[in-house]
């Protein structure tokens, strides 16, 4: 039986504020049939790491600083490093597995990874219906090859969250400007959300949003889109290969098991050792490395993107 895909409870107000202010980023890596998804909010210091569909680390550390999460799968050791480079207003995200950098799905430039979803699927927000105080929007997803259709219902807030999560996935990429936005929110105090005219206008806007979203390059490998559209992919399917937390520390320091977490020791007969990143200054203002960063002001050129990406 496979591990369930990563899921989270409805976000609190701090999570919503972070997503809305653009301080939230997520990264996905695939390596040797395994998967890792990091969700990081540099404003409040929230960091969550899923490995093979299981949360192995979930904590909030304020103020946010550079950190490295070390984990084990079997006898192999991997690590996810988040390095703040204050002089560049950048954050570097790096996963190392068996001593080598792993390119995140977003920054993998092979032709097979550029795939959108509109070639395989047709999506329609077909109708809307009121369920008490909530309006549900009916989505019809058609497989162009088989002709089979799948029907699902979503609330408007789920479309908004999808946009925020996809935006966070593309942060730091030249493709970020391609991410469409859903219709804007309207205060119920000033707008009748049950008005047929309002609902129809919102439905049309949501249809346009989804239609444009599935046309984005590399969107076929986006975890959040796959979950929203209930697609059967390796990321949403999960795996029965378990992973365990070793510890968390500042890059270059030995990993320590945080309070509230359970860790496993590094054994001397591990087939690989974690490759640490050196921190040059105590205030996390590290020097630039050969890896590419994550910046709040500049966009990386495609030829400069590498295994470590940036926002």
Q: Enter the tokens of residue 130.
A: 């009121």
Residue that wins the pLDDT comparison between 161 and 282: 161
Distance (Å, whole) CA 25 – CA 38: 8
Q: What is the pLDDT confidence band of residue 150, given thresholds at 50, 70 and 90?
A: very high
Please write the tens of the pLDDT for every residue from 221-249: 899 999 999 998 877 776 778 899 999 99
**Percentage of the residues of the chain whose pLDDT score is greater than 90:** 50
- pTM for the model stands at 0.74
Helical (H) or strand (E) element with 114? none
Q: What is the pLDDT confidence band of residue 93, given thresholds at 50, 70 and 90?
A: very high
Residue that wins the pLDDT comparison between 259 and 124: 124
Q: Tell whether the model's pLDDT for residue 57 goes beyond 60.
A: yes
Measured in degrees and rounded to the nearest 5, phi and psi for residue 151 equal -115, 135
Domains of the chain: 13-108+237-310 (2.40.128.180), 113-234 (3.30.1520.10)
Distance (Å, whole) CA 179 – CA 17: 19
Kindly write down the DSSP assignment for every residue of 26-38, as one continuous string: EEEEEETTEEEEE
**Confidence (pLDDT) at 171:** 84
Kindly write down the DSSP assignment for every residue of 155-194, as one continuous string: EHHHHHHHHHHHHHHHTTSTTGGG----PPP--TTTS-TT
Distance (Å, whole) CA 293 – CA 93: 7
Helical (H) or strand (E) element with 82? strand 76-85
**Confidence (pLDDT) at 113:** 57
Other Cβ atoms closer than 10 A to 205: 17
**Confidence (pLDDT) at 121:** 95
């Amino acid at each position: 039986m496979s591990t369930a895909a990563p899921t989270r409870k409805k976000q609190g107000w701090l999570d919503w504020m972070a997503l809305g202010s653009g301080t939230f980023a997520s990264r996905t890596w695939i390596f040797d049939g395994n998967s890792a998804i990091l969700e990081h909010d540099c404003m409040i210091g929230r960091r969550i790491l899923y490995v093979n569909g299981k949360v192995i680390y979930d904590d909030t550390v304020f103020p946010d600083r550079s950190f490295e999460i070390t984990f084990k799968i079997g006898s192999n050791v991997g690590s996810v490093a988040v390095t703040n480079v204050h002089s560049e207003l950048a954050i570097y995200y790096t996963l190392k597995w068996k001593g080598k950098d792993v390119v995140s799905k977003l920054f993998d430039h092979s032709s097979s990874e550029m795939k959108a979803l509109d070639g395989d699927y047709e999506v329609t927000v077909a109708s809307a219906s009121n369920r008490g105080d909530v309006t549900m929007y009916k989505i019809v997803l058609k497989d162009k090859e088989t002709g089979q259709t799948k029907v699902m219902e979503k609330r408007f807030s789920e479309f908004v969250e999808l946009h925020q999560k996809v935006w966070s996935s593309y942060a730091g990429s030249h493709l970020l400007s391609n991410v469409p936005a859903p219709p804007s929110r309207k205060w119920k105090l000033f707008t009748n959300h049950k008005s047929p005219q309002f609902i129809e206008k919102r439905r049309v806007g949501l249809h346009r949003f989804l239609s444009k979203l599935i046309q984005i390059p590399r969107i076929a490998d986006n975890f959040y889109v796959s979950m929203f559209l209930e697609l059967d992919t390796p990321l949403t399917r999960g795996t029965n290969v378990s992973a365990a937390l070793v510890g968390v520390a500042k890059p270059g320091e030995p990993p320590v098991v945080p309070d509230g977490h359970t860790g496993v020791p590094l054994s001397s007969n591990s087939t690989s050792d974690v490759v640490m990143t050196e921190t040059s200054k105590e205030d996390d203002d590290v020097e630039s490395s050969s890896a590419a960063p994550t910046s709040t002001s500049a966009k990386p050129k495609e030829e400069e993107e590498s295994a470590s990406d940036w926002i």
